[in-house]
Amino acid sequence: MTPCILVTGGAGFIGSAVIRELLTQTFCVVVNVDKLTYAGNLESLASVSDSPRYHFYPIDICDAAALDKVFADFKPAAVMHLAAESHVDRSIDGAADFIQTNVVGTYSLLEATRRYWSGLPEEKRVAFRFHHISTDEVYGDLEGTDDLFTETTSYSPSSPYSASKASADHLVRAWSRTYGMPILVTNCSNNYGPYHFPEKLIPHVILNALSGKPLPVYGDGSQVRDWLYVEDHARALLEVLNRGTVGETYNIGGHNEQRNIEVVKAICDLLEELAPDRPEGVDAYEDLITYVKDRPGHDRRYAIDASKIQRELGWVPVETFESGLRKTVQWYLNHPEWWQRILSGAYKLDRAGTVKSQ
């Protein structure tokens, strides 16, 4: 029997990359459960949505009855939990949705999973996996220039978003400790790549530059992030799901530390090469860089020690920051129909017609 994987948040940036990887590189049946908030975009799954192994349900993970029905109908061998509110600025402006989805939603999903898992035959119960996908932001800020986040770094979240994700991490581990649920936890660094929602730094800079709009940089732009190409991340998540040790945490990083201002300037350099016909009145893309007031509680540096996943599972990223960023910029240049529909809001209008549930 072909195994089924239940993916929550599969219409999001990372979730859609995971589903594309599952449907093109495995024989699994994939059930995508996504509430379709503003950042959920089924058009990111257009290349695989016609697969007979793909099923989509527009379900809120806080809806226990709906989750129970999906578990009963599809009997998944694993859950990959990616559903989350994830934009720091939005969490600062209003934290309620982040608490509801990231904390209450994770609790609801854990309980639905536990009801299903506890009723499985012994062999299937032992083989089952609950894979919780989290972020390096739960660790907070790094002070030293050589320090790295490891799997045992103490949690010290700085924003409502990261605090809600830290809460979810703790819930998942508690359900493992208390109920024996077979879990896996991964904490990743900043993702980037195709299909990234335009409010995030890299796509925001690309699209603003193409429109001749200011390129906003928080503070002095010296904040450091470790950048991970999203398709590398998707491959890592499948490795953890298939070969990771139950109960363990794996940090997933791109080995690509960059200051935010360096990222913005690198995008400008690539656009000079790949899109030399600049908007009217723009002499150089870098001229659009604008420094703005820093975000409250802005962490200065994140950096992942990904040696454990390399040592135990043999995973290393394929893309360097240079190769991944070039692919990303070129993808946005080649796919204006995808991002233009997001900027106009049109992507929300056709959702009913693209829902495939059976």
* Digit-coded pLDDT (tens) for 92-119: 888 999 999 999 999 999 999 999 999 9
Residue 91 confidence (pLDDT):
82
Residue 350 confidence (pLDDT):
60
Residues 128-142 have a mean pLDDT of 94
Give the amino acid at 198. Answer: P
Token readout for 163 is: 């605090």
How far apart (Å, rounded) are the C-alpha atoms in residues 312 and 317? 15
* Digit-coded pLDDT (tens) for 206-249: 999 999 999 999 898 988 889 999 999 999 999 999 999 999 99
Comparing CA positions, the residue from 181, 179, 74 lying closest to residue 126 is 181
Task: Band the pLDDT of 252: cuts 50, 70, 90.
Answer: very high
How does the average pLDDT of the chain come out, rounded?
93
User: Who has greater pLDDT, 199 or 328?
Assistant: 328
Give the amino acid at 216. Answer: P
Residue 89 confidence (pLDDT):
76
Active site annotation includes 161: yes
Task: Band the pLDDT of 302: cuts 50, 70, 90.
Answer: confident
Residue in this structure with the two tokens 């990743």, named with its chain if needed:
188
* Digit-coded pLDDT (tens) for 21-45: 999 999 999 999 999 988 899 999 9
Residue 1 confidence (pLDDT):
67
How far apart (Å, rounded) are the C-alpha atoms in residues 203 and 52? 32
Give the gyration radius of the chain's Cα atoms. Answer: 20
Residue in this structure with the two tokens 């080649």, named with its chain if needed:
334
Residue 354 confidence (pLDDT):
47
Residues 290-315 have a mean pLDDT of 88
How far apart (Å, rounded) are the C-alpha atoms in residues 4 and 79? 9
Tell me the domains of the chain and their CATH numbers. 4-192+228-256+301-318+349-354 (3.40.50.720)
Residue 263 confidence (pLDDT):
97
* Choice among 4-8, 255-259, 285-289 with the minimum mean pLDDT: 255-259
Task: Band the pLDDT of 141: cuts 50, 70, 90.
Answer: confident
CB 76 within 8 A of CB 6: yes
Query: Which CA distances in Å does 127 have to 98, 182, 283?
Result: 31, 8, 59
Residue 183 confidence (pLDDT):
98
Predicted TM-score of the model (pTM): 0.94
Residues 176-199 have a mean pLDDT of 96
Task: Band the pLDDT of 58: cuts 50, 70, 90.
Answer: very high
Give the active site residue among 54, 107, 116, 161: 161
Residues 343-354 have a mean pLDDT of 72
Give the active site residue among 21, 85, 136, 231: 136
Residues 307-332 have a mean pLDDT of 97
Residue 120: pLDDT over 60 = yes
How far apart (Å, rounded) are the C-alpha atoms in residues 97 and 123? 38
**Maximum CA extent, the chain:** 68
Active site annotation includes 337: no
Give the contacts of 256 (CB within 8 A, at least 6 positions apart): 226, 227, 228, 317, 320, 321, 324
Give the active site residue among 137, 232, 299, 319: 137
Task: Band the pLDDT of 355: cuts 50, 70, 90.
Answer: very low
Token readout for 209 is: 């530059």
Task: Band the pLDDT of 300: cuts 50, 70, 90.
Answer: confident
Task: Band the pLDDT of 293: cuts 50, 70, 90.
Answer: confident
